[in-house]
Structure 1
Amino acid sequence: MNNFLTILLHTYLSKLKTKSFIATTLITVVIVAGLANLSGIIDYFNKDDEERVAVIDETGVLLTPLQEQMDALNNKITLIEYKGSEAEGETAVKDGDYKGLLLLSFSTDELPEAAYKARSIADSAIPSELQGGLQQLKTQMAATQINLSPEQLSKLYEPVPFDKTALEENAKTEEELNQARGLVYVLLFIIYFAVILYANMIAMEVATEKSSRVMEILISSVSPIKQMFAKILGIGLLSLTQMALILLVGYFSVKQNLDTMEGGFFEFFGFGNIPASTIAYAIIFFILGYFLYATLAAFLGSLVSRIEDIQQMITPMTMMVVAGFMIAMFGLGQPEASFVTITSYIPFFTPMLMFMRVGMLSLPVWEPILGIVILLAAIILLAVFGARVYRGGVLMYGKSNSFKDIKKALQLTKNE
């Protein structure tokens, strides 16, 4: 047990102190904090950035109501009447005096139409906002032409009442589904990236030790099985440390911007009424998913003697994670699809798909429990098989010949 704890702590602390881990964590923390304060950052850089657009109004009546529409949209576009010719206006835009040139005229139906010219049309924000303002203006003018009152116009664009009611007992309401969808979407991304990142880290750790011949020293004092699980737990603790730091920074960064808003942090994001059981299932399936793929990554990494071969060896594992994630994304829109239900019981897809179904549907308790049992059984079987492969794989050197090396590793284990 002392040797097990020694390897566990060594794996955890050695990775924790590496420059790559520290740099990755700091960069991620900065990105999370930046995204949480994105609106404030944009406002800071754009506070004095007035969008001046030159306007040649051939109608003589559209400029003023269009500017009123722009002001109603709370954007920073300022329309300036241009007295020169169209060619002179184009020159002024090229010289940077204006963001663009807007030409206003009437169609044959006496309704607004426009043309917009700028140095580049790659930035679609200004023309889109101008088009939106003109659309509102055109609607008002068209309504006036056919003698529609404002009340009649609002009735015309009023959405059709369409209520959706679930008849099944304990089925989630539309509001609950929208809340669950947001939380499930976020947690699916966390599970997806965490499994790929930290499982790869375990495989790389094993391959690195083999390539430096450190493994020959380790196996003389500690059994390969203890090594494998010590590394899995060590990297697991590392992942929890990094994710806890990132989530805490994200939480406090966003919460700081919500001090002036009504409701709490989770209410603002629509997560206020999420059942505690959904959060508990998220933690359970995350941990089980990590151990499943970490065990798989550890014994695949033991088959590789060169770091250059590690990506080729773990590519099938990565593709399984990607496949599970893509099915889960599809399932967010159709969680009751038979395809999603069946694949949620396949162990390598269960962490994401079963959690998605638990979050989106009112499942009987036996379904997620069965998913957990299947995952535990798969982890145990994979651990037993993986330990045997790992035990022989750490003694193998030379160029990897793909998955044929698993048979060689098992033969080495039997010959010990």
Structure 2
Amino acid sequence: MNNFWLMLSHSYFSKLKTKSFILTTVIVVAAIFLLVNFENVVTSVTGEDEPPKVAVLDEGNLYEPFSTQLAQLNKEIEIEKVSKDEKILENEVKEGEYEGYLILSQDQNDLPQAVYKSTSISNSEVWTDLFNSLQAVKNEQAAKQLNLSNEELQSLNTPPSFEREALVEGAKSEEELSEARGIVYVLLFFIYFSVIVYANMTAMEVATEKSSRVMEILISSVSPVKQMFAKILGIGLVGLTQLAVLLAAGYFAISRNKEEMVGGFFEGLGFADTSISLIVYAGIFFLLGFFLYATLAALLGSLVSRIEDVQQMIMPMTFLVMIGFFIAMFGLGNPESTFITISSYIPFFTPMVMFLRVGMLNIAAWEPILGMGILLLSILVLGWFGARVYRGGVLMYGKSNSFKDIKKAIELTKNK
């Protein structure tokens, strides 16, 4: 057992000290702080943006009602009534004096129409607000032509009351679902990339030791099964360490900028009111997903003796992770579908799909517990089978990138 803990600590600390781990962690932590403080960083670099200024050529006596409607819709857009030649206005727009210029006129029905010209129409916020203001003016004038009162016009423009209520007690509201969708989306990406990275790391670790012939020395003092689980646990601890650092950095960054996050981008993603239970579930499904795929990766990594063959051998495993991720992405729009429910109990998809259902729905407590139980049972079965393959696979050398080699590895195990 001492040899097991020695190998576990070696796997853990050797990966913890690598430049790739340190650099990745530092970059992600920096990205978290940059993302949380994004608006402040942009403001400090570029300064406060000046409000857009638009020149207005009024050819239909529409400026007054138009400016009134625009002021109610967006007070930041400045408009200025001008009487200039269009060529002069074009030059002033190109020189940056105006964001653009608007030509107001009337059509054959004496209703407002307009043409907006600018160097670029990519700033949709400006022309969208100009259009909505003009639409309001048109509605008023059309109502006058039809002899409609202001009350009748308001009644026509008022959208119908349409509310959605769930019949099941405790079901999430539309707002809660939107917030949950954002945080689940982010955490799903984390689970997906983490499982791929650390499972691949496990396979590479085994293949590297085999290619350097270190394995021949190790198996004389430590059993292959102990080696396999020591590597899996060691690299799993590396993943947990990185997860803890990132969560601590995220919590610190968010807690320091909580006021700036209210009502903005982060609140829409659900970060402003993230439940601790959701983070705990993310950690649990990350760990279970890692151990499931890392055991499979160690099994596959033991079959190759060249680092170049690792990616080809573990490609089917990578596809399994990707399929689970894409199913979860589909489930973001329809988490209650039968397909998603069934997929959440398929072991290789459970870490992401069951986590999706936990985050998006108020499901019964037994469902995630059953999912965890299925994962644990799958890990035990795969660990038992993987140990048999690993024990013989580490003794196989030469070109080996076929799944037929699993049978050879098991035969070698029986002959030992």
Q: Is residue 304–residue 401 contact of structure 2 (8 Å, CA) maintained in 1? A: no
> Which range is displaced more, 9-18 or 268-277?
268-277
- Relative to structure 1, the CA distance from residue 207 to residue 64 in structure 2 (aligned partners, 3 Å threshold; closer, same or farther) is farther
What is the correspondence of 1:270-309 to structure 2 with a 5 Å cutoff? 280-309=280-309
**Could you tell me which residue of structure 1 aligns to residue 79 of structure 2?**
79
Q: RMSD between aligned alpha carbons? A: 3.3
Asked if the contact 2:102/2:114 (under 8 Å) is kept, the reply is yes
- The answer to whether the aligner puts 1:55 opposite 2:55 as a matched pair is yes
Q: 1:216-231 maps to which residues of 2 (within 5 A)?
A: 216-231=216-231
Shift in alpha-carbon separation, 1:148–1:405, aligned structure 2, 3 A: farther
Deviation string for 1:227-270 (max 9, x for gaps)? 2211111121111221222222222222222247889xx99975
Query: Does 251-260 or 287-296 show the bigger shift?
Result: 251-260
Check conservation: 1:93, 1:101, Cα contact below 8 A. Answer: yes
Identify the residue that residue 197 of structure 1 maps to in structure 2. Answer: 197
Summarize the Cα distance change of 1:262–1:56 in structure 2 as closer, same or farther, 3 Å threshold.
closer
Tell me which moved more, 309-318 or 133-142: 133-142
Q: Aligned letter for 1:256? A: R
Note closer, same or farther for the CA distance 1:151–1:251 as it changes in structure 2 (3 Å cut).
farther
Tell me how far 1:53 sits from its aligned partner: 4.4
The CA distance in 2 between the partners of 1:402 and 1:191, in whole Å, is: 28
Give, in whole Å, the separation in 2 of the partners of 1:247 and 1:273. 15
CA deviation after TM superposition for structure 1 residue 89, in Å: 2.6
8 Å Cα contact 1:392-1:412 kept in structure 2: yes
Q: In the alignment, is the contact (CA less than 8 A) between 1:345 and 1:374 conserved in 2?
A: yes
List runs of 5+ in structure 2 lacking aligned partners.
Answer: none
Is 2:52 the partner of 1:30? no
AA matched with 1:156: L
Which range is displaced more, 371-380 or 270-279? 270-279
Deviations 1:275-294 (A, max 9, x none): 77655544433321121111
CA deviation digits over 1:381-413, x for unaligned, max 9?
A: 111111222222223333333323322322332
Q: Distance in 2 between matches of 1:59 and 1:409?
A: 86
Aligned length: 414
After superposition, the Cα gap between the structure-2 partners of 1:278 and 1:244, relative to the gap in structure 1 and judged at 3 Å, is closer
- 1:114 counterpart letter in structure 2: A
Do 1:67 and 1:78's aligned partners in 2 also have CA atoms closer than 8 Å? no
1:398 aligns with 2:375: no
Q: CA deviation at 1:138?
A: 3.6
SS at match of 2:403: helix
**For residue 134 of structure 1, what is the amino acid of its counterpart?**
L
Secondary structure class of the residue paired with 1:102:
strand
TM superposition score normalised by structure 1: 0.85
8 Å CA contact 2:179, 2:268 repeated in 1: no
Which residue identity is paired with 1:327?
A: I
Work out the CA distance in 2 between the residues paired with 1:370 and 1:98.
63
Change in Cα spacing, 1:94 to 1:259, as seen in structure 2 (3 Å) is: closer
CA distance in 1, matches of 2:123, 2:35: 21
Q: Is the 8 A contact 1:51 1:99 kept in 2?
A: no
Residue 326 of structure 1 corresponds to: 326
